[in-house]
Amino acid sequence: MQIKEQTQGAVMVLEPDGALTVDDAEQFKGRLTEALAESSGRVVVDLSSVPFVDSRGLEVLVEANDALADGGRSLKLCGINETIREVLDLTGLANRFDHFDDTNSALRSFH
C-alpha cells in the first residue's frame, strides 16, 4: 500500500491509497504510529483515497485515537467517503474522531 505523506507546517498529513484492510492496515498502523511520535500527535489522516476499511482498519484508527486521547488529543480524519462514514456510524465510532471535510479544514484546527 502506498501512503502519501505531506508535511503542512507542523502537521503531517498521511494519505493512504487503497482499502485499509488486514496487511495494509498493519502497514498503515506502523507509519501512523511513527508519524504520531514524530509530530507530537499533529497528524491528519486523509482518507479520500481509501474506498473502505475493514475491522482491522477500524481497529488501527481506534488504537491510534486511544493513544492520542491520553494526551488530550484525538485523531483528525478528513475526506471520508459515504461507505466509511456508514461503517463509523454503524459501529458507533464516529464520535471518537475529529472529522473534517478536507485537509485544509483539518490543518486549521491545529491553529
Partner 1 sequence: MSESVQSPGAKRRGRLGPAETLIGPILVVAVVVVMAALFVVGWWSVRAERTAVVAARTAHVVSSSQLLADSVHSMLSSGDVAAVRRLMAGAGRQNGFQSCRVELPDGSILADMEPARNAVDTLADTWPGGDATGEVIQQVGDGELTLIYPIKLPGRGIVTLRVEASTGALGQGAGMTLVVAVAVAGAILILVVLLYRPAKSRVVPFALIREALMSIQSGEADPDALKVSDALGPEARVWNQLVGQQDRREQDKLLDRALSSAASGQTGSGSFGVIGDALWHGIVLVGDEMRVSYANGAAAVLLKSSREALLNTAASELFDEDVISALREVTRGGDGRRRTIEPGQTSEDGAEALRFSIRAVRDDRGKTGLVLIEDVTQQRIAEQTRRNFVAQVAHELRTPLTNISLNVEAAVDDGEEDAELRGRCLNVINQETQRLAQLVNDMLSVSEVEAGSMSLRENDIRLDAVFADLEADFKQLAQEKQVKLSFDLPPKLPVIQGDRDKLAISLHNLLGNAIKYSPTGGEVTVVILAEDGKLSVAFKDKGIGIDKEELEKVFERFYRAKDSRVKEITGTGLGLPIAREIVRRHGGDIDASSSLNQGSTFTINLPYKPEAA
Footprint on this chain of partner 1 (rule: CB under 8 A): 4-11, 40-42, 69-73, 101-102, 104-105, 107, 110-111
In angstroms, give the least distance from the CB of 5 to partner 1.
7
The C-alpha atoms of residue 41 and residue 95 are separated, in whole angstroms, by 19
DSSP structural state of residue 106: H
* Farthest CA pair distance, the chain: 34
The C-alpha atoms of residue 57 and residue 72 are separated, in whole angstroms, by 23
Q: Toward partner 1, which CB reaches closer, 38 or 89?
A: 38
Q: Toward partner 1, which CB reaches closer, 18 or 54?
A: 18
Q: Toward partner 1, which CB reaches closer, 81 or 104?
A: 104
**Crossing angle of helices 55-69 and 22-38, rounded to 10°:** 20
In angstroms, give the least distance from the CB of 90 to partner 1.
26
| 14 in Cβ contact with 32 (< 8 Å) | yes
| 61 in Cβ contact with 98 (< 8 Å) | no
In angstroms, give the least distance from the CB of 110 to partner 1.
4
In angstroms, give the least distance from the CB of 77 to partner 1.
17
Q: Toward partner 1, which CB reaches closer, 9 or 92?
A: 9
